[in-house]
Amino acid sequence: MNHDMTTTAFTLDGYRIVKTKGVVRGVIVRSRSVIGTLGASLQTLVGGNISLFTELCERTREEAFQLMLEHALQHGANAVIGVRYDATEVMGGVTEVLCYGTAVVVEPA
């Protein structure tokens, strides 16, 4: 499934929903490494974007997104609507990132 078949909206332009397959999700639990945290701490001294954390967050969200797409495909969907992200700190330095949405089967309108 490619990114064109996902949306944060509840409709997909040019398609009609023919079947709903249910909620799908991708979950990643990630910790910061001591070295990464040290490097990011040094970046805070200069100010601005903390690129080490930005890259970690982006990579983690992408992995959660890909897991959600795999879950949708396992349910026989060809699109996911209502895509959302959520993050929860599980313990100090350990964060869960959840990507979820509604798996659907769509066909051209």
Residue pLDDT, tens place only, 14-71: 999 999 999 999 999 987 655 555 555 555 656 666 677 788 889 999 999 999 999 9
H/E element, 42: helix 34-46
Per-residue pLDDT at 67: 98
| Across 8-17, 42-51, 89-98, least confident range | 42-51
Q: Is residue 22 part of a domain?
A: yes
Q: Is residue 98 part of a domain?
A: yes
Q: Is residue 74 part of a domain?
A: yes
Q: Is residue 43 part of a domain?
A: no
Q: Is residue 47 part of a domain?
A: no
Domains in the chain, number: 1
3-state secondary structure of 32: coil
Q: Is residue 104 part of a domain?
A: yes
Show the CA angle centred on residue 5, arms to residues 61 and 3, nearest 5°. Answer: 40
Per-residue pLDDT at 56: 82
Residue type, 66: Q
Residue 101 sits in a domain of what CATH number? 3.30.110.70
- Listed residue (38, 67, 34) closest to 50, CA to CA: 38
Q: Is residue 55 part of a domain?
A: no
Place of tokens 């066909």: 107
Domain that holds residue 89: 3-31+60-108
- Burial class of 39 by CB neighbour count within 10 A (0 to 12, 13 to 18, 19+): middle
Q: Is residue 76 part of a domain?
A: yes
